[in-house]
Amino acid sequence: MTPGDGADRGPGAAVRRLPPRPGRRAARGRGASSWAAPGRRGRAGAAPQPSRLLQRTMLALLLTPPACLVLFALAVVFWGPHRSAAFFIPLVTALVLSTVLGWPLAARLRRQLTALARQRDAFYEELLRLSKAASLGEVASSIAHDLNNPLAIMREEAGWIQDLMKGGDLQGAYTQVEITNALQQIDIQIERSREITQRLLQWGRDSAPQTQSVDVNLLLNKTLYLLESELQTAGVHVVKELAPGLAPVRGGAPELRQVFLNLMKNALDAMKDRGGTMTLVTRADPDGVRIEIKDTGEGVPAAALEHIFEPFYTTKPASEGTGLGLPISRWIVEKLGGRVEVESREGAGASFQVTLPTQQASDVDTAARRPDGVVGAADRSLGG
Amino acid sequence: MTRPIRLLIVDDEKRLVETLSKRLTARGLYVEGVHSGAEALALMQAKPFDVALLDVRMPVMDGITLLREAKKLQPLLQVIMLSGNASINAAVEGMRLGALEYLLKPANLEDVLAKIEEAFKKKRLEEERLAAQRAPGE
């Protein structure tokens, strides 16, 4: 399926859909760090790399005008009045000069483009590191909040037992029942606290190993678990339509969790003041595995839709959004050879779709594209 | 003669409301406990309260929204916010909207009681001031 193909959705005729835009657009607005880089692919298996095409085009553009000028001058000066063999001398000179001057220029351009791509990657690596730290902070804060509720209950139960003991009538039926209930409640709250701390432990476990393949359904469930209480507080109902038996996708769990967390938090923020439904859908796709995160929030305004993947662009208040979640997410997904698409209608929610190549599919694909068996550095920079 | 303090507790943690109500009732307060903003507003339309203890983070209607609505119904009501997290923003917003205090969970009952009594005194003073304004000649 092509990125712009919307045949699989029925009522979405009026829906505005945004396919991935590798580099070019962002370069216009946001500076060098968003330039297309060698090895960047909009989707898995797309053979020519945009930056190489760009380099060749620039080289051709660079050489064509002087060559044309020289040929034109030759035609005027020599061919008409003299019909002389001297015609060939400037032609050869021009060709030699173009080659001698043009190639180093092209090489320099290529070096600059590569350097820019490296800078872009370093920029996003740093953003990813920061956003992971910020997420950990948010998770820790949410856990502290959740933990304080059972703690408050335990304190009151213990206090109630003390109150009853101070009352003196310890053998009375009422006191006995109350003390038993309070002790049971303390036990229930301890179990609840243990479940909450498990979340933090889980976070640590998933952050440590750089796994090479990820079970998308499992990771979505784990990410959802982190946001459980926030979703509940916001009155957001979660619907899961997860296809069983999906092949593992290629990538690191910490990076992909960041993608899912960003998309789910966006969905949550869109429904914070009004509640709603967040739908998580996974299914097999010709390009690997497709993950859809849908909300019934306010939707993305048409004017904002074109900019949401640009760094620092945000429609949230300054204290809530940095405008980095979506660019980072798209960078991670594209690094893994996947793509992110969005469709939204103002007032009718938004849907973000992530397509990720599976472990096997991407390996087969890479081998087919490079018959020599050599795997490009960019193809392996995150996944393997 | 002092009448008992009429306290309203609003928290979605049902067991917390239940136990806190028992303990405060044992200390001579008149306590009503509910678990959502909607229930609280319905109850406030029927009964006057002196002090309200509101949880900040609740589903559907959060404590800050409830504070705003509650003040419309009972302007003299003294509100103490109770929260599980130390969010400065929520505290500032609560104070701006007229909350008297901001307590963190798990709070010590003696502290809670001291704040409630302080809030009650403040309410009595405001009631007296209003009464004096209404009857300046007496």
pLDDT class of A204 with cuts at 50, 70, 90:
low
Residues of A in contact with B57 (CB under 8 A): 145, 233
The order of strands in the sheet holding A288-294 is A16-18, A339-344, A350-356, A288-294, A276-285, A236-242
pLDDT class of A233 with cuts at 50, 70, 90:
confident
HSE value, Cβ hemisphere, 13 Å, CA-based, for B72 = 8
Residues B23/A163, Cβ–Cβ less than 8 Å: yes
Residues of A in contact with B93 (CB under 8 A): none
Residue A78 tokens read as 């020599």
**pLDDT for residue A85 is more than 50:** yes
More confident call, A206 vs A167: A167
| Chain A interface includes B2 (CB < 8 A) | no
Q: Which helix (H) or strand (E) holds A353?
A: strand A350-356
Least confident of A251-255, B16-20, B45-49: A251-255
Residues of A in contact with B62 (CB under 8 A): 233
Residue B90 structural domain: 6-134
Give me the mean pLDDT over the B101-126 stretch. Answer: 92
Give the pLDDT confidence score for residue B46 in this predicted structure: 93
Least confident of A53-62, B71-80, B104-113: A53-62
Burial status of residue A109 (CB atoms within 10 A of its CB: 0-12, 13-18, 19 or more): middle
Give the pLDDT confidence score for residue A82 in this predicted structure: 61
Nearest CB partner across the interface for B85, out of A144, A151, A232: A144
pLDDT class of B58 with cuts at 50, 70, 90:
confident
pLDDT class of A351 with cuts at 50, 70, 90:
very high
Residue A165 tokens read as 């003991």
Percentage of residues in chain B having pLDDT higher than 70: 94
Inter-chain CB proximity B84 and A157 less than 8 Å: no
Q: Classify A272 as helix, strand or coil.
A: coil
* ipTM tops the 0.90 cut: no
Residues A348/A338, Cβ–Cβ less than 8 Å: no
We report the CATH number of the domain holding residue B75 as 3.40.50.2300
**pLDDT for residue A30 is more than 80:** no
Compute the count of residue pairs across chains A and B with CB atoms less than 8 Å apart: 63
Residue B79 lies in a domain: yes
**pLDDT for residue A4 is more than 60:** no
Give me the mean pLDDT over the A357-377 stretch. Answer: 49
Percentage of residues in chain A having pLDDT higher than 90: 21
Q: Classify A241 as helix, strand or coil.
A: strand
pLDDT class of A205 with cuts at 50, 70, 90:
low
Residues of B in contact with A182 (CB under 8 A): 19
More confident call, B109 vs A202: B109
Give the pLDDT confidence score for residue A20 in this predicted structure: 45
More confident call, A347 vs A379: A347
**pLDDT for residue A360 is more than 80:** no
**pLDDT for residue A39 is more than 50:** no
Residue B15 lies in a domain: yes
More confident call, A148 vs A39: A148
**pLDDT for residue B28 is more than 90:** yes
pLDDT class of A279 with cuts at 50, 70, 90:
very high
Residue B138 tokens read as 């007496």
Give me the mean pLDDT over the A254-279 stretch. Answer: 88
More confident call, B40 vs A104: B40
Give the pLDDT confidence score for residue A309 in this predicted structure: 83
Mean pLDDT of chain A: 73
Least confident of A213-227, A281-295, B62-76, B117-131: A213-227
**HEC secondary structure over A187-218:** HHHHHHHHHHHHHHHHHHHHHCCCCCEECHHH
Give me the mean pLDDT over the B86-90 stretch. Answer: 68
Residue B82 lies in a domain: yes
Roughly how many angstroms between the first and final C-alpha of chain B, as a whole number?
Answer: 22
Give the pLDDT confidence score for residue B67 in this predicted structure: 94
Q: What is the per-residue DSSP string for A280-305?
A: EEEEEETTEEEEEEE--SS---HHHH
Residues A231/A295, Cβ–Cβ less than 8 Å: no
Inter-chain CB proximity A152 and B106 less than 8 Å: yes
Residue B1 lies in a domain: no
| Chain A interface includes B13 (CB < 8 A) | yes
